Structure 1
Amino acid sequence: MALKHRIPVRIRHYWKLLATCAAVGVALTVVFTTVRVAPLVTSSGARSADEVTQNIEGSADLFDANQAHSIKLTFRDADYQRLLDSYFKDGEKDWLEADLTVDGVTIPSVGIRLKGNSTLGQLTRDGQAREGARGGGQRPQGGQMPQGGQQMPGAGGPGGGFGGFGGAGGSGLKAEEPENLPWLIRFDEFVEGRRYEGHREVTMRVSGMGGGKTVMNEAVSLNVLAAAGETAQKYAYTSFTVNDRPTVARLVVEHPDENFADEIGSSGVLYKSLASSSFTDQGDDQTDYADDFKQINMVGSQDLEPVIKLIRWVNNSSDAEFDRGLAEHIDVESFARYAAEQNLLLNFDDMAGPGKNYYLYYDLTTKRFKVVGWDYNLTLTGDAEQDPTQTVTMGGGRGFGGAQGGGLPEGFEPPAGMQPPGGNNAGGGRMGGFGGNKLKERFLASAAFKKVYQEAYQDEYQKIYASGAATTALDAALTVLSTVDGYDKAAGTTEADTLRTLIDQRTRYLAGTATVKGS
């Protein structure tokens, strides 16, 4: 996105006036609103390019997952229509100014924008999808994606089928129902230096994807990962009200930002993989990797050089060099756990999936990377009998229609930026579907790392399934959901039953595999 699009138009035109108004506004906010402001916290220049000047304390920890929360958004409809105009005409995700109330604490002038790529392929306005979008709704070119909970061919497996992707199998998203849309909420978009409970951004997770209306699968996945000692985003269930629209129950999730980087380590750089990432050697020029990774923290003091070196080494090293030198570049034990967890949780949309959903954390002390997962709304769906040694793909590894190597239903169009099945992805290798990542592929294919992967898999299996943690997490999520305003009990009960069946079947199946038994 061009730099000018990252700065709101009104700020670009009237920044001097707005700077004065903002100063007055902050003073009035402190005196007359319900916002409670903690002492000012300033980030070190070596750690972050942003200065935190205001940290708002909530009435309760937003990410206390053991209690129901309340979030309300208020904005002008004219501003919302302009946001939609920008997205539907140009594909731009502009920021909209809104007032936010979280658990009774009002935060004025936050920024909100639409979030997602393939997810927004479902979005329609007046029944029409954005021109060139992939997903639900009528398209000028003809054709219509499956709607109303239809299941993709070949996507079923024990414990339920694939719950929807890019508009297929889901109920679709309508611009006329902003309470159901995926939103990124930024606390400092219009008030510089502001945080809420230390967070710069939070995200409202969309329903109707792999986890159905309640996104219970993501809640369960985040719960068990955190319980296993892995880095995972915080989450909670909340009622969500937009203007005078109906209240619905939603999952709010911590968005990986500078604060999240601090949770991973005391001194490191966090890089986000973009959906357009290819993980291919494109030379030394950092601008050539602008579509691959975005640096999250330490902007100005660090850059993309470590990521580029990793990519070039992974793509150009011989098998012997890869086996011998991998531990110098990444934390091998941590990576083995990551790879095992993605299989255990049936996450086909991980670092090797179509969305390239992962972060790289570069530890400045050890000079090694960790792979950090995120975006777990497509976990725990598909085939409960996915083998530990096979790559998880859309439809459980068999492809659509049961064809080996994959295939798509007639008329299906993948979301923008995704590679079709049967061809080599730029990230290195055919995955029997979308996606691919050279680092993960080479790691899993190497005999040198078979033992560390198997040991990690056995350990994580015990923590997630054998211990009963997944079932306990499901029960806990359902208990909290039942107290959230706007909760659809019928849908939640059905989705919980489906998820419970899958967890039970996956637990029993994996117990008999050679990987878990150690044979």
Structure 2
Amino acid sequence: MATPRLRPTTILLTTALAFGTVGCTAVGATSSTGDSTAVGASAENVAAVWDSSTVHSFSVTFDEDEYDAMIATYLESEEKEWITATVVIDGVTYENVGLKLKGNSSLRGLTTDADADLSSTNPETLPWIIRLDKNVDGQSHDGATEFVVRANSSETALNEAVALDLLEAAGLASEEAVTARFSANGSEEVLRLVIENPEDTWMERELGSGLLYKAEAGGDYSYRGEDAESYTDVFDQEAGDDDLTPLIDFLQWLNESSDEEFAADLGDHLDVEAFATYLAFQDLVSNMDDIDGPGNNSYLYYDSDTGLMTVVNWDLNLAFGQANVGGGGGGMGGGGGMPEDGEQAEGMPTDRPTDIPEGMGDPGEMPEGGDMPTDGERPEGGNAGGRGGFGGSNILSERFLADEDFQALYQEARETLQAELFDSGLADDILAAWTETLTDEATDLVDADTIETESETLSDAFPS
């Protein structure tokens, strides 16, 4: 069994990058009955399933009729239904597992047309959530119950893997991630990135005991009244006791407070320093799909002890300028690679979509207030310049960056992260570790030259 490598936070605190053991060996894969003797993941003790120094193996098997019905339901209503699957993780079999599509833009182009390049006949290319305990209470693997099989437009997904490690090193809540051989219903194996799904166990480890809300792609941070039903399809509670009251109260204050009240009292409602760090991090990794992006990607965590909200990162598959090819997950086994010098990624549609959701802006158009920044300044009104893609906005970031003192806090966080994550060489060493793992263990899935090229392109995208 491979030993887990050190997490970036440990590396950063010791100021010396090293990959090796964490002082404890995770043991005891779970049986299909759900009994477990595994050691769960923690900040210093990462279970074997999250050992990113090796390429893991995930395979899923399911009934084709159930799968076809699930795809048909999604195409008709965009509802994502659970189906039942048998899942094998690193040689351990689990029965009666929940399996569901996971994603939004990564599912564009999904079709039942067997002649299409990206079709429902290629489930190994789709983004998935695997939930071991959906139908069997307590069923887990090394203490982990939920896995997200990510979509990425590159063949290696190095951009997201590295970004997640850097997110952890920045002191923000992050998900464990591993590369894996993934197959579905006996398909050929493809290389995929598998990460944790934020839920109760993850929340308690990374953030504490409280409430966790996921912002839905079609929603925003507007106040819609006191009725919790008004927030259906806007926010979805992912962890903690069902209670939208703290979220609704926060959104009301955010939308109704005066500029003076916002400046004076934001610290009574939000972890201000964490949010400044979050914004600075998103800009440094050139992630266009963050809180300001078209997917409204974020979680809000409510700390019941402090009464503060924290904006939590979600979705880094477009980090470092990766183009979103969309459609059926893009396929980490067959994407277009990382674009260079503004070149359009292979497979990226050349025509502009006409069915742009309201409020998402025109593709390629800078969002309102989003002039190109100077001297590293994040533009008022949302995304940093140079991200491209759909424009977006978020009332929290807009108001935050419009305030001189909060803007200064953001600038300070940006300078600190630049020095600690990039100037220090930490990002280069993290990239080298992921690249080495793929080169040693995955060249049968992705050509060695492709791994080297995508690694070099990613390195060139690091800010300096």
* In structure 1, distance between residues paired with 2:404 and 2:65: 59
Give yes or no for the alignment of 1:264 onto 2:209: no
| Alignment counterpart, residue 188 of structure 1, candidates 97, 118, 133 | 133
Number of the residue aligned with 1:66 = 53
Question: How do 1:33-112 and structure 2 match up within 5 A?
Answer: 37-38=35-36, 61-112=48-99
For 1:57-108, what per-residue CA distance to the aligned partner results, in whole angstroms no more than 9, with x for missing partners?
xx96211111111111122222222222222333332212111111111111
Give yes or no for the alignment of 1:121 onto 2:108: yes
* In structure 1, distance between residues paired with 2:312 and 2:90: 30
**Structure 1 pair 195–415 and aligned structure 2 pair: CA distance change class (3 A):** farther
Give yes or no for the alignment of 1:420 onto 2:361: yes
**Structure 1 pair 417–97 and aligned structure 2 pair: CA distance change class (3 A):** farther
| Alignment counterpart, residue 467 of structure 1, candidates 419, 424, 427 | 424
CA displacement at 1:193 relative to structure 2: 4.0
**Structure 1 pair 230–411 and aligned structure 2 pair: CA distance change class (3 A):** closer
| Identity across matched positions, percent | 36
**Structure 1 pair 415–215 and aligned structure 2 pair: CA distance change class (3 A):** farther
Number of the residue aligned with 1:443 = 400
For 1:322-360, what per-residue CA distance to the aligned partner results, in whole angstroms no more than 9, with x for missing partners?
110110111111111111101111111111111111111
Q: How many residues align?
A: 390
* In structure 1, distance between residues paired with 2:269 and 2:73: 42
Number of the residue aligned with 2:145 = 200
Contact 2:99–2:130 under 8 Å retained in 1: yes
| Letter paired with 2:319 | T
Contact 1:281–1:312 under 8 Å retained in 2: yes
Aligned to 1:72, what secondary structure does the other structure show? strand
**Structure 1 pair 107–67 and aligned structure 2 pair: CA distance change class (3 A):** same
CA displacement at 1:33 relative to structure 2: 5.9
Number of the residue aligned with 1:25 = none
Contact 1:276–1:417 under 8 Å retained in 2: no
CA displacement at 1:225 relative to structure 2: 1.5
Number of the residue aligned with 1:481 = 438
TM-score under structure 2 normalisation?
0.77
C-alpha RMSD of matched pairs (Å) = 3.2
* In structure 1, distance between residues paired with 2:322 and 2:59: 34
For 1:148-174, what per-residue CA distance to the aligned partner results, in whole angstroms no more than 9, with x for missing partners?
xxxxxxxxxxxxxxxxxxxxxxxx632
| Letter paired with 2:448 | K
Contact 2:182–2:191 under 8 Å retained in 1: yes
Aligned to 2:143, what secondary structure does the other structure show? coil
**Structure 1 pair 481–413 and aligned structure 2 pair: CA distance change class (3 A):** farther
Number of the residue aligned with 1:158 = none
TM-score under structure 1 normalisation?
0.69
**Structure 1 pair 416–101 and aligned structure 2 pair: CA distance change class (3 A):** farther
Number of the residue aligned with 2:43 = none
Aligned to 2:149, what secondary structure does the other structure show? strand
Number of the residue aligned with 1:229 = 171
**Structure 1 pair 412–200 and aligned structure 2 pair: CA distance change class (3 A):** same
**Structure 1 pair 284–460 and aligned structure 2 pair: CA distance change class (3 A):** same
CA displacement at 1:430 relative to structure 2: 7.7
| Alignment counterpart, residue 322 of structure 1, candidates 262, 271, 275 | 262
Note the residue ranges of structure 2 that are not aligned, 5 or more in a row.
1-27, 40-45, 324-338, 370-379
* In structure 2, distance between residues paired with 1:95 and 1:175: 16
**Structure 1 pair 418–259 and aligned structure 2 pair: CA distance change class (3 A):** farther
Contact 1:235–1:252 under 8 Å retained in 2: yes
* In structure 1, distance between residues paired with 2:119 and 2:289: 24
| Letter paired with 1:109 | N
Contact 2:212–2:239 under 8 Å retained in 1: yes
Number of the residue aligned with 1:18 = none
Number of the residue aligned with 1:176 = 121
**Structure 1 pair 35–216 and aligned structure 2 pair: CA distance change class (3 A):** farther
* In structure 2, distance between residues paired with 1:105 and 1:200: 14
| Letter paired with 2:126 | L
Contact 2:34–2:136 under 8 Å retained in 1: no
**Structure 1 pair 490–418 and aligned structure 2 pair: CA distance change class (3 A):** farther
Instruction: Return the index of the structure with the highest Cα Rg.
Output: 1
| Letter paired with 1:235 | A
Question: How do 1:277-292 and structure 2 match up within 5 A?
Answer: 277-292=219-234
* In structure 1, distance between residues paired with 2:86 and 2:420: 41
* In structure 2, distance between residues paired with 1:372 and 1:291: 19
CA displacement at 1:429 relative to structure 2: 5.9
Aligned to 2:414, what secondary structure does the other structure show? helix
For 1:188-215, what per-residue CA distance to the aligned partner results, in whole angstroms no more than 9, with x for missing partners?
222234333333321101132xxx1221
Note the residue ranges of structure 1 that are not aligned, 5 or more in a row.
1-29, 42-58, 129-136, 138-171, 384-395, 402-407, 508-519
**Structure 1 pair 380–176 and aligned structure 2 pair: CA distance change class (3 A):** same
Give yes or no for the alignment of 1:219 onto 2:156: no
Number of the residue aligned with 1:364 = 304
* In structure 2, distance between residues paired with 1:348 and 1:95: 30
Contact 2:215–2:300 under 8 Å retained in 1: yes
Contact 1:173–1:181 under 8 Å retained in 2: no
| Alignment counterpart, residue 495 of structure 1, candidates 454, 460, 463 | 454
* In structure 2, distance between residues paired with 1:487 and 1:473: 20
| Letter paired with 2:109 | Q
Contact 1:110–1:190 under 8 Å retained in 2: yes
Deviates more, 1:413-422 or 1:357-366: 413-422
**Structure 1 pair 359–469 and aligned structure 2 pair: CA distance change class (3 A):** same
Aligned to 2:134, what secondary structure does the other structure show? coil
* In structure 2, distance between residues paired with 1:292 and 1:412: 23
**Structure 1 pair 415–494 and aligned structure 2 pair: CA distance change class (3 A):** farther
* In structure 2, distance between residues paired with 1:122 and 1:470: 34
Contact 1:118–1:416 under 8 Å retained in 2: no
Number of the residue aligned with 2:240 = 298
CA displacement at 1:124 relative to structure 2: 2.6
* In structure 1, distance between residues paired with 2:368 and 2:412: 31
* In structure 1, distance between residues paired with 2:322 and 2:240: 39
